[in-house]
Structure formats: C-alpha cells, structure tokens
Amino acid sequence: MAVVAASGCAPAGGQGPGRRAAALGHSPAGGGLAGLLAGVLACVLAGCAGPVSTLQPAGPAAREAAQLWWGMLTVGVIVLIGVVALWLHALRRPSAMVGPAEAKRITLLWLVGGGLLLPGFTLIALLAFGIPAGHRMLPLPLAGGEAPLRIEVIGHQWWWEVHYPDSGVVLADELHLPAGQPVDVVVRSADVIHSFWIPRLAGKIDMVPGRSNLIRLQADEAGEYRGQCAEYCGVSHAFMVLRVVAHEPAAYAAWQQERGG
Amino acid sequence: MSGEASDWPRPRGGGKGEGGGAGTGAADKVPQSSDGDPDPARLHEDFNAVWGNPRGWRSVTIVNHTAIGLRFMLTGLGFFLFGGLLAMLIRTQLALPGHTIMTPEVYAQVFTMHGTVMMFLFAVPMMEGLAVYLLPKMLGARDLVFPRLSALGYWCYLFGGLILCASLFLGIAPDAGWFMYTPLASATYTPGPNSDFWLIGITFVEISAVSAGVELAVSILRARAPGMSLDKMPLYAWYILTMAMMIIIGFPPLILGSILLELERAAGMPFFDPTRGGDPILWQHLFWLFGHPEVYIIFLPAAGIVSTLLPVFARRPIVGYAWVVVAVLTTGFISFGLWVHHMFTVGIPMLAQAFFSAASMLVAIPTAIQVFSWIATLWLGRPVFHLPMLWLTGFLVIFVAGGLTGVMLALVPFDWQVHDTHFVVAHMHYVLVGGMFFPLIAGLYYWLPHFSGRMASPALGRWGFWLVFGGFNLNFLVMHWTGLLGMPRRVNTYEAGLGWDLPNLVSSIGGFIMAAGVVTVLADILLHFRFGRPAPDNPWQADTLEWATALPPSPYNFISLPRVEGRHPLWDQPGIGRELAAGRGGLAVIDHGRRETWGTDPASGEVREIIHLPGNTALPFLAALSLAALCIALLAKAYGVALAAAVVVAGLLLRWSWENGAHPAAAPDARTAPGDPPLHSRTADGPGLWGMALTLLADGALYLALLFGWFYLWTVGPTWQVPEGGGMAGSAGRLLLAAAVVHTLAQFGMRRMARGGALRHGAAAFAAVAAGGALALGLVYAALQAAALVVTATAHDAVIAVVLGYSLAHLGMATAVTLLQALRVRRGYVGLEAPYEPLVVARLWHYNGGVLWSSYAALVLFPPAWGGAWGGV
Ligand code: HEM
Ligand SMILES: [Cu+2]
Ligand SMILES: [Cu+2]
C-alpha cells in the first residue's frame, strides 16, 4: 500500500508507465487550493497511479480533468463536513428557547445563506473553472494555423480499426501517435455504440453508428498507454482494449515511413 | 409562514389505549355538537359491512388503498431482495480479477436486471405504495378517488414484474444495460427475445406508474379534508403531488420510446436505424427525457418522508414551509431540462452542453434549500432521538455526498473522464441508496406501528443501521476511486495489475456487510410483528392525520371525517382521533351502503360534493390478467392471441366504465343527508374530470415526444432520408385536412352535448356525434392508405405511420365511448340529474381535435416549410 501511495498522484505531466517514480515530489494539486488534504487522503485510500488512471494524466486534457477533480474534491469534502457537522450539532445542541422574531431571523439566515448563497457561489465558481477547461479540450483550430494530425478510428464488436488517412496505414487494436503534439481522432462505429477512451490522455467520446465524432488527444511523452471501450457494447466489451503507443516525433515519422512505404 | 412560532405542538396526555378496533369510546374533553353518539363498535361494524375486505380468493377484488398500498410495498420489498441478490452476484464476480463465476452473457443479464429491477420494480413502486397507503389518511379521506385504478396499477405491476423476472430464470433476460441503448438492443445485435422482455414488461409496469400518478394527483387535489387549503397541506402531499405530476409527464416519453423500439424490433420500422434514416441518439433522448426526471421521481417522495419525520422528532413545525414547497416544485420543473447531462459524450454541440451543465447544477439550489430547512428545523427545535432519526442522519451524510459528486458530474470536462465508469456507479448509488433507501427505512420504522400496531426494538435496529451504513460506504466510497482509476462500468471482469484489484475487493466486502445489515433490518421488522410492544395512540406524537386512525387502521380509515383548521391537526387537537371514531365528524352515516369521501375544492379545500367510490370488484384484476396475456402473446409473437387478448381488455375496460356514475352498481341511492352536498355523479364537477385531464396530459406528453422525434429526425438526424413520392404530399395531406375539419364539426356537437344538449336531444344526438368521429376516423385511414408508406424502408415513413396510427386509435376510442354515452342516456345513467359524464368525454374530443390539427401541421405543413425534397408540393 505504501508503495502504491508513494508512486504519487501528481497531475503534473508526463510519466510513462515505466517512469512513475518520477512523480514523487510533484505537488499533488495543480489547482491551487486543492492541496495536501485531498492528496494525502487519496493516496492513503488506494493510490492513484495505474496504467489507466485518470489521476495519473499524461496529456493536457486528462491533466485538466484531474486538476478539476482535486479542486472539486477539496471543496466537496469541506462542504460535506460542514453540512454534516451542522446537522449533528443541531441534533445535540441544548435546546435554547428562542422567541418568534429570533426564530425568523435564524430561519432566513439558514435558508438564504445555506440554501441560496452557498450553492449559488459554488456553482458560479465551478462553472468559471469548468467552462474554460472544457473549451481548451475542444478540437479547435491550432494557433499556428496548421492542421493537427488526423487519425480515424472505427469501433467494431469488439475491436478497433485504426486508419491513417495521410499514409494509408491501417491497424487493428493499436494506435500510434507522435508525442508532444495534438492529434485529432475521428471516431465512427461499424455496428453498435462504443466509446473511445484513453484515460491517461483525455476524456472519452462515443462512437455512434451514422455519425462521426472528433476528439483531440495529446501524449506529452513517448510511452505506452492503454485505451478501452467505455460504452457497453456486448459480451466482450470488457476486452475491447486498445494499445496506444506514443513515439518521439522522429521515431513516429520513421514508423509511418516503414509502415506506409 | 407568519404563525410558525405559535403553532408548536402541545404535549398530550398519556393516551395509551390499545390499537385495533375503532377506539374505546373514552369520554372526550373537547365538546362538539352531538346529539346522542351512536355506539362506536356498532359504527365500526356498519362501516365494515360496506368497506370491509373479503378474504380468500375474493381478496383479488379488493380496491381499498390501505390493502393496495401494503401490497405495493410488500411486492416492492420482494423485488428489492431479488435485485439485491443480483447485486451480490455482481459483487462476487468483481471481487477478484479474472473471476468468472458468470459468463459474460449471464453477467450482462444480471447487471441489466439489477438496474431494471431496482429502478422500475423497487424504487418507484415502493414510493408509490407508501403514498397510496398514507395519503388518504394524511389528507383525512377514506380512500383515493379511483380505487379500481389503484388495484389495476397494482396487478399490472405485479404481473409485469413477474414476466420480466421470469426471463432471467429462462436465461433470456434483457442484457443491454438498464437504458437499453440501441443498436445494441435492436433486432440485429440482440436477435433473441431479451430486449422484448424489457420493452414490453416495462411498458406494462409503466401503466401502473402512470395510473398511480393520475390517482395520487387527483386525490390530493380533490379529496382533502374540509378546510385543508393548499397552504395547510402536509408537506408530504406536496412532494407526492410533484412526484405524481412528474410521472404523468415523464413516463410517457419512455413508453413511446419503448413502443417505437419494439416496433423496430418486431416490425422492422427503422426509427433508430441510421442506415434507413433513423438515429440511435433519438432513443437516448427519449430515454433520458424520462430517465432524469425518474431519479427525482424516486428522490422527491423520499425527501417527503424526511420532511414529514424530521419536524416530528424536532418537536416543532418545519422551518420555511413555503420555501420547501417552492423548492420541491422547482426541482420537479428543472428536472425536465437536464436530461442531456447523461449524454455529454455523444457529441452534442458544445453550447448545448454548457447550457445543460449549468442547468444541471441549478438543481443543487432547491436541494440545498431543503437540506438547510431540515438543519434549521433541528436547530430551532428540541430534537428527540429515535431510531428513524438515525436513518435520517445516515441519509443526510450519504445523500449530500452523492449530491456533491452529482454536481461534479455536471461539469462537462470532468464528466468526459468519469462517464460510464465505476465513479458514476458509485455516484448513482449514493443518491439512490442514500436518497431513497435510507429515508425509506426511516419511514418504515416510523410507520411500523401503523402497519402492525406495534413498536420495533431499538437494539437490533441500531445494528442494522450501522451495518448498512458502514457496508454501504465501504462499498461505494471506494468505488469512486475504482472509477477514477479507469475502470469502466459493465465490465464482467478485469485483468490484474490495472490498479483495480484492491478497491474491488474492498467494495465487495462492503457489499456483503451491507447485505448483512439489510437482513438484520428485515429480521428486526419481522420479529417486531410478534414481539413488538403494542403501540400507544400516536406513538411519536406526530402532527399529521394518519395517526388519528386506529392502529392498524380499518379500511375506511375514519368513521367520520375531520375538518382541518391548521397545518398540524394532531398537535392542534390531540383528541381528534377519538372524536372521529365516535362519529362526530363529517359523513358519519353508512346506511345508504355507499363508500364516500369528501370532494373538496383544489385550492381552498372547502367541500364541493360527496365523492362516492366503487366497491370491491374483480374487473381490475381481470383486466390486468388479460393485459398480462397480451404481453406474453406479444413476447411469443403470437399476434392472433394478442389481438384476442386486446379485445378482452377493451371489453373489460368498457364494462368498467359502464359501472360508473349513476349506474346502480356505483351509487344505488343518490340521496344525501340534509345539509350535505350532492353526490359527484349528480354534479358537473367530479374527480373524473380531473382524472381525464391528467390522463390526457400523460397522453399529450407521449404525443409530444412523438412529434419531438419527428422534428428531431428532420432537423438533426444525421442520415435522415425523405423518400421520393408518396408521403403526406398530395392527396394524403388533403385527406388528413378533411379529417381534421370533419372532426372539428363533430367536436362542436360534442361541446353542445356536454353543455346540456344531452338533456334535450338525448341518445340520437350522441350517436350523430359518434358518427362524425367515425367519419373522421375513416378519412385518417384513407390518408394512411393514400400516403403509400413503406414503413420498413425509411424512418420517415415509419414515423408518419405511427402519428396517423395514434390518431386512429384515439378517434376509435372517442367514437366508442360516445356511443356508450348514447346507450347510457337511454338507460338513464346520463341525463338531467346526472349531467357529468359528457363533460368528461368532451375533454377527449377536444384533445383529439388538437392531435389532428397538430398532426396536420407537423406532417403536411412543416416539411415543405423546412425545405424537404418533395417534388409535388
Ligand atoms: C444493495 C446494495 C447494492 C449493490 C451492492 C449494488 C451494486 C451495483 C453494482 C456493482 C453495479 C454496477 C454493475 C456494472 O456496471 O457492471 C450496479 C449497477 C446499478 N445499480 Fe446497484 N447496487 C445496490 C443497490 C442498488 C439500489 C438500491 C439501486 C436503485 C434504487 C441500484 C441501482 C442500480 C442501477 C440503476 C445500476 C446500473 C445498471 C446498469 O448499468 O445497467 N442499486 N449496482
Ligand atoms: Cu464496449
Ligand atoms: Cu440525471
């Protein structure tokens, strides 16, 4: 357990599976407030490292999601403890006889303060962080104007068909991509709904027959990652796994050359 | 809210008369006008002669709400145990990596059935059952206003549930997850009958939910104690009213979706098939349009239990009654605008996602208002701690935690990560178990004396609580972590070394501890029926009227009906129970042989008429039995048998509506006591008007969901195809227009009949109106023919066929009941003294008129306006 814990929960970037120890010493929280409390609690519970752990992100989108989690966990724990403490205190409090006017004042205080203001402000704060974070994850045009690499993935019961339109390379159950640069993945389905998900790189996107969806991925460093189908798609859903390999850009080019040529 | 501090409970003297019977006739201190009270024991006997429940096989004829409510709850408990057993199977399989005690096929059936059973056969019916049992008592009435409908609902629930669960034993249970996403659930990818069991079984059970919804809403609005204006209603009634309205509006989209998917599976009509112009995402919209409100349909009645119990244990009225009412209504309203938060990963435009994200978070506000009202109530009260309070405290901890993860999930970028993982499984159990199961157990303990006349033991109960609470958190708190570590939901097993081994083992251990806790609680409850000490009157010193009945109550609840002056009748008049049992309230006569309760004004609660209620009858049982036969025939694809069963159902329902109103079986004697208002069937204002209105609301929700599908496919369906030629252009459209015009004329005729024309023109005029309906029906049928639809070729033609089929069914129904009215006029059941039924029937006509015109607009006017490719328009 201690070993797992020591392997760290750092949302900070870029550990391949073999390099988890490097996470030691990073701050567990990228998001300011989300501090030790959350990190310690979490690591004591079970550790957050793992080949498909969203809490050991290896790409910008997954990292932002993990940061959101740590921040929300911190605020959530505080709110939960606060509300439960209030409840327990109210239960045990020696009953003071309050007059009707005083009762009215207290009522208003609780209802306006706890019922309106507390959730109101929390939600505004949450959206203020969340909407921009979601926006940054979108496959928007890049600043430089050049188009990111495009890969097409088609879900089948129960395997992944991976196409590289630029080079004509076709793979099964394996996705190769260059590290350190954004990649757009177009997903489709050949049969039922699947969901394309590489937890350490980014969130998931459904593969829906009749539609194409787009998701942007980026692996910060070369290494192996694991993708898996997230939408129940039939009996072998649990085994619909995708091997993801991020290469250094030069190695990626070489790999494409070799496969495509 | 002004008088809040003044209506504190007054402690009552130690009344400790034994429960059972109708009170002991002790001398009463509160004087009231009474001229020689009759003997209470005699009164009880006389009332029981009219209201009593038969035993043996005749007990299938019982329609009384107390019996039906208990049946709902017992059956719900049975399904809960079944669903719990399935949960234990799941947890056993997931306890260790690579553990395969079940094949993937079986595992899929087990998790699908676990979710389905828990949501549809446990949570919703349990909450309805409790409401059916409690509401009339709390409102000071003798029964719900449509007792036969309660019975029908119960039997549909039982038979539907049994059919559904039987599939698991046959090894052909639904296996595509409890939300049946298509194409996985379609005939191509699930060729066996698995999905059919879900679609047909759940639709059957849904009849029960919708009928309970109509029943509860009308009863709350129209059958309260005199004087109980809306602002004096117990909070529980507000919660149930909201739940009932949500069921009425929220379930029809699922019923429609299920019908469409079943039509796709059985008849090849491609509503959701993208290769023929359909869209699988439409199913998701229809499902979650229901599915999100569903979780509030489950939570709100549970919160109603909290708001009922908490003030009693805090020994003061709830703080902020009006705030809570507004919060509950707002929750119901908002919850219809959130469904897309279950679909953040399907590729919906970002702007829409942001909107639904913010809207989803908004529900936190009314929920927080309730939580803080509860805290403030404890704060300002003088709380006493009994076992139910322990469960309420557990509820608070777990539910607030679940609410917080819910807000997290509403944040789109975070949801993209944890959607469809065990994080979501953990979240939903926090809100479902915390928000529904814990208050339910609190409520069961609280109302136990009502069911049994006895009190439960505190010791065993505490053990049960701590086992459930501890086991639950061990199981599901850790499961959040499993999800964050990347474990998708619905995987039948997993490899070792992904970091999931330990948390899964811990979860499974927690699950078993929780199961032990559930068994302890059940043992406690069972034992108490034997060993519990007899309950005193009003054992918790509660304020609501259900504690003014005998413990356990008689089927009629009250010998005579109370009048209510404030929000807390039993705190205001602690002796009211004995008063009523002595016959000193309203409607204390029974020699007319009618079951009666007050019909009151929806807002002010003042008396408007006497509602007379039908007695025991086998019709609901037989109707449900034939419906079950219909379902089984559909499952077996024996369509001839299905047609025969449908005819039997229709016959039974017509018979049912025949024995209504002024029919001798319904009200043998129309005389009422001097000073009392008339019977509802002799006025123009009975509860049936409301029943019809709310049924049509449900019907309208279904129809709107259908139009939603049509417009959805036209505007955003990615592979929408409009076939060349045919369709509603040309003569089909003109025929539909003609049908709408003819119907409008007939509708005017119906309106005149409803306004009293029935009295002057009699049966022949009804027959003429019915003929108009039949003509409109024929024209719609001609339109269907002229459209030359190829329903298996495109979703376009399939939807048109359903829209027209819907009109045909409705016109047929209206024509039939109007003919029945003609007959009833001839028999004298409808006429000068009984002017009420034509008003009810007229509502159906107006509704149908609306349907025809909007179908015309949607099918004929909309497509060219949108720019559809129609050569000939
Ligand atoms: C008694 C303790 C319970 C345990 C141990 C338990 C366990 C589980 C587990 C492990 C799953 C995930 C299955 C999977 O994704 O493979 C699940 C799914 C589910 N549970 Fe429970 N559950 C319990 C009680 C309940 C209750 C009381 C409800 C509702 C009122 C409920 C509603 C659901 C639903 C709706 C699903 C989703 C099913 C699906 O994915 O199709 N559960 N449960
Ligand atoms: Cu899958
Ligand atoms: Cu929801």
Ligand nearest to C-alpha B398: 1
| Distance, CA of B558 to CA of B143 (rounded, Å) | 10
CA-B479 nearest atom, ligand 1:
10
The answer on pLDDT for A36 being more than 80 is no
B866 falls in which pLDDT band (50, 70, 90)?
confident
Please name the CATH architecture into which domain B1-295+541-617+659-720 falls. Answer: Up-down Bundle (1.20)
| Distance, CA of B353 to CA of B340 (rounded, Å) | 7
Quick one: average pLDDT of B116-139? 97
Residue A175, beta-bridge partner list:
A244
The answer on pLDDT for B5 being more than 70 is no
Cβ of A68 within 8 Å of Cβ of B371? The answer is no
| Distance, CA of B64 to CA of B137 (rounded, Å) | 12
**What element of type H or E holds B115?**
helix B104-116
| Distance, CA of B400 to CA of B275 (rounded, Å) | 45
Quick one: average pLDDT of B737-763? 86
Mutate to test the interface with B, among A185, A206, A229 (most CBs of B within 10 A): A206
Res B36: pLDDT: 55
Res B760: pLDDT: 67
Q: Are B749 and B846 in contact (CB under 8 A)?
A: no
Crossing angle for the helix pair B438-452 and B387-410, to the nearest 10 degrees: 150
Res A259: pLDDT: 84
* Matching residue, tokens 């979710």: B115
| Residue B642: how many other CB atoms lie within 10 Å | 18
Nearest CA residue ID for atom 33, ligand 1 = B115
DSSP state of B605: -
Q: Are B661 and B830 in contact (CB under 8 A)?
A: yes
Contacts of B413 in chain A (CB under 8 A): 61, 64-65, 68, 130, 133-134, 137, 203
Domain residue ranges in chain B:
1-295+541-617+659-720, 724-870
The residue ranking higher by pLDDT, B47 or B836, is B47
Share of chain B above pLDDT 90, in %: 77
The answer on pLDDT for B410 being more than 70 is yes
Paired sense of beta strands A159-164 and A149-156, if any: antiparallel
Centre of ligand 1 from the C-alpha of residue B304, in Å: 23
User: Per-residue pLDDT tens for B558-581?
Assistant: 999 999 999 999 999 998 999 899
Contacts of B347 in chain A (CB under 8 A): 205-206, 208, 211, 213-214
**Backbone torsions φ then ψ of B142, nearest 5 degrees:** -95, -25
Smallest CA–CA distance, residue B497 to chain A, in Å, is: 8
Share of chain A above pLDDT 70, in %: 81
Ligand nearest to C-alpha B407: 3
Quick one: average pLDDT of B414-434? 96
Nearest beta carbon to residue B407 from set A53, A83, A126:
A126
Centre of ligand 1 from the C-alpha of residue B433, in Å: 10
Smallest CA–CA distance, residue A250 to chain B, in Å, is: 30
Q: Which of B31-40, B160-169, B354-363, B470-479 is predicted with the least confidence, judged by mean pLDDT? A: B31-40
Res A37: pLDDT: 53
The residue ranking higher by pLDDT, B34 or B533, is B533
Smallest CA–CA distance, residue B28 to chain A, in Å, is: 32
The answer on pLDDT for B431 being more than 60 is yes
* Matching residue, tokens 């079943």: B262
Res B683: pLDDT: 84
B667 falls in which pLDDT band (50, 70, 90)?
confident
CA-B511 nearest atom, ligand 1:
5
B583 falls in which pLDDT band (50, 70, 90)?
confident
Per-residue CA distances from A182 to A220, B54, B865 (Å): 9, 74, 43
A195 → chain B, closest CA residue: B345
The answer on pLDDT for A113 being more than 50 is yes
Quick one: average pLDDT of B604-614? 93
Residue A177, beta-bridge partner list:
A246
Phi-psi region of A149 (alpha: psi -120 to 50; beta: other; left: phi over 0): beta
Centre of ligand 1 from the C-alpha of residue A197, in Å: 23
Paired sense of beta strands A149-156 and A183-189, if any: parallel
Contacts of B416 in chain A (CB under 8 A): 65, 137, 202-205
Contacts of B411 in chain A (CB under 8 A): 68, 72, 126-127, 130, 134
ipTM: 0.89
- Residue B242 neighbours by CB under 8 Å, 6+ apart: B300, B328, B329, B331, B332
Is residue A163 classed exposed, middle or buried when 0-12, 13-18 and 19+ CB atoms within 10 A define those classes? middle
Cβ of A230 within 8 Å of Cβ of B416? The answer is no
B828 falls in which pLDDT band (50, 70, 90)?
confident
* Matching residue, tokens 């809570």: B324
B456 falls in which pLDDT band (50, 70, 90)?
confident
DSSP B519-580: HHHHHHHHHHHHHSPBPPSSTT---SGGGGS-SSPPTTS-SSB----SS-HHHH-TTHHHHH
Res A41: pLDDT: 57
The answer on pLDDT for B539 being more than 50 is yes
The answer on pLDDT for A25 being more than 80 is no
**Backbone torsions φ then ψ of B420, nearest 5 degrees:** 60, 25
Is some CB atom of chain B closer than 8 A to the CB atom of A238? yes
Phi-psi region of A155 (alpha: psi -120 to 50; beta: other; left: phi over 0): beta
Ligand nearest to C-alpha B181: 1
Smallest CA–CA distance, residue B203 to chain A, in Å, is: 23
| Distance, CA of B189 to CA of A191 (rounded, Å) | 8
In the structure encoding, which two tokens stand for residue B845, read together? 């006509």
Q: Which of B73-82, B249-258, B651-660 is predicted with the least confidence, judged by mean pLDDT? A: B651-660
| Distance, CA of B631 to CA of B637 (rounded, Å) | 10
Smallest CA–CA distance, residue A34 to chain B, in Å, is: 15
Q: Are B623 and B656 in contact (CB under 8 A)?
A: yes
Ligand 1 site, CB within 6 A:
B 84, 87, 90-91, 111-112, 114-115, 118-119, 122-123, 177-178, 425, 429, 432-433, 436-437, 475, 489-490, 511, 514
Cβ of A54 within 8 Å of Cβ of B485? The answer is yes
Smallest CA–CA distance, residue B199 to chain A, in Å, is: 18
B7 falls in which pLDDT band (50, 70, 90)?
very low
Q: How many helices (DSSP H) and strands (DSSP E) are in chain B? A: 27, 2
Cβ of B274 within 8 Å of Cβ of A211? The answer is yes
Per-residue CA distances from B210 to B252, B290, B512, B617 (Å): 8, 13, 35, 21
Smallest CA–CA distance, residue A257 to chain B, in Å, is: 33
Cβ of B494 within 8 Å of Cβ of A50? The answer is no
From B417, B427, B489, select the one nearest B181 (Cα to Cα): B489
Centre of ligand 3 from the C-alpha of residue B358, in Å: 13
Ligand nearest to C-alpha B294: 3
B387 falls in which pLDDT band (50, 70, 90)?
very high
Cβ of A90 within 8 Å of Cβ of B379? The answer is yes
Instruction: Round the CA-based radius of gyration of chain A to a whole number and report it.
Output: 23
> Could you give the 3-state DSSP secondary structure of residue B11?
coil
Calculate the average pLDDT of chain B. Answer: 90
In the structure encoding, which two tokens stand for residue B780, read together? 């719609």
- Distance, C-alpha B452 to centroid of its chain: 26
In the structure encoding, which two tokens stand for residue B218, read together? 């009308």
DSSP B713-778: HHHH-TT----SS-TTTTHHHHHHHHHHHHHHHHHHHHHHIIIIIHHHHHHHHHHHHHHHHHHHHH
A209 falls in which pLDDT band (50, 70, 90)?
very high
CA-B179 nearest atom, ligand 1:
41
| Distance, CA of B683 to CA of B840 (rounded, Å) | 12
Query: Does the domain at residues A149-260 carry the CATH identifier 2.60.40.420?
Result: yes
Q: Are B127 and B436 in contact (CB under 8 A)?
A: yes
Side chain identity, residue B864: P
Res A143: pLDDT: 81
Interface of A with B in 26-85 (CB under 8 A): 42, 45-55, 61-62, 64-66, 68-69, 72, 76, 79-80, 83-84
In the structure encoding, which two tokens stand for residue B204, read together? 């059957």
| Distance, CA of B834 to CA of B683 (rounded, Å) | 7
* Matching residue, tokens 């970037």: A13
Nearest CA residue ID for atom 40, ligand 1 = B177
Q: Are B753 and B765 in contact (CB under 8 A)?
A: yes
Side chain identity, residue B373: S
Centre of ligand 3 from the C-alpha of residue B357, in Å: 11
**Backbone torsions φ then ψ of B278, nearest 5 degrees:** -90, -175
Quick one: average pLDDT of B715-719? 91
Smallest CA–CA distance, residue A254 to chain B, in Å, is: 31
Q: Which of B440-444, B695-699, B751-755 is predicted with the least confidence, judged by mean pLDDT? A: B751-755
Cβ of A130 within 8 Å of Cβ of B478? The answer is no
Res B758: pLDDT: 62
- Residue B496 neighbours by CB under 8 Å, 6+ apart: B97, B98
Contacts of A90 in chain B (CB under 8 A): 375-376, 378-379, 383
The answer on pLDDT for B26 being more than 80 is no
In the structure encoding, which two tokens stand for residue B812, read together? 């047929």
Nearest beta carbon to residue A230 from set B413, B420, B718:
B420
Share of chain B above pLDDT 70, in %: 94
| Distance, CA of B662 to CA of B679 (rounded, Å) | 10
* Matching residue, tokens 């004329």: B745
Contacts of B426 in chain A (CB under 8 A): none
Residue A246, beta-bridge partner list:
A177, A223
Domain residue ranges in chain A:
60-136, 149-260
Nearest CA residue ID for atom 23, ligand 1 = B87
Cβ of A69 within 8 Å of Cβ of B489? The answer is no
A11 falls in which pLDDT band (50, 70, 90)?
very low
Res B6: pLDDT: 33
The answer on pLDDT for A24 being more than 80 is no
**Backbone torsions φ then ψ of A149, nearest 5 degrees:** -55, 140
Res A40: pLDDT: 52
* Matching residue, tokens 């936190």: B364
Helix, strand, coil distribution of chain A in percent, nearest 5: 40, 20, 35
Nearest CA residue ID for atom 3, ligand 1 = B87
Three-state secondary structure readout of B157-186: HHHHHHHHHHHHHCCCCCCCCCCCCCCCCC
In the structure encoding, which two tokens stand for residue B765, read together? 């005029």
Centre of ligand 3 from the C-alpha of residue B507, in Å: 24
Ligand nearest to C-alpha B476: 1
Helix segments in B559-638, DSSP class H = 569-572, 576-581, 619-635
DSSP B381-418: S-----HHHHHHHHHHHHHHHHHHHHHHHHSHHHHHHH
The answer on pLDDT for A13 being more than 80 is no
Contacts of A230 in chain B (CB under 8 A): 345, 419-421, 488
> Could you give the 3-state DSSP secondary structure of residue B442?
helix
> Could you give the 3-state DSSP secondary structure of residue A172?
strand
Crossing angle for the helix pair B387-410 and B364-380, to the nearest 10 degrees: 150
B650 falls in which pLDDT band (50, 70, 90)?
very high
Nearest beta carbon to residue A134 from set B281, B319, B412:
B412
The CATH code of the domain at B724-870 is 1.20.120.80
The answer on pLDDT for B759 being more than 80 is no
> Could you give the 3-state DSSP secondary structure of residue B251?
helix
Ligand nearest to C-alpha B250: 3
B659 falls in which pLDDT band (50, 70, 90)?
confident
DSSP B478-529: HHHHHHHTT-BTT-S---TTSS-HHHHHHHHHHHHHHHHHHHHHHHHHHHHH
Quick one: average pLDDT of A33-48? 54
Is some CB atom of chain B closer than 8 A to the CB atom of A180? no
Instruction: Round the CA-based radius of gyration of chain B to a whole number and report it.
Output: 28
Res A45: pLDDT: 53
User: Per-residue pLDDT tens for B297-314?
Assistant: 999 999 999 999 999 999
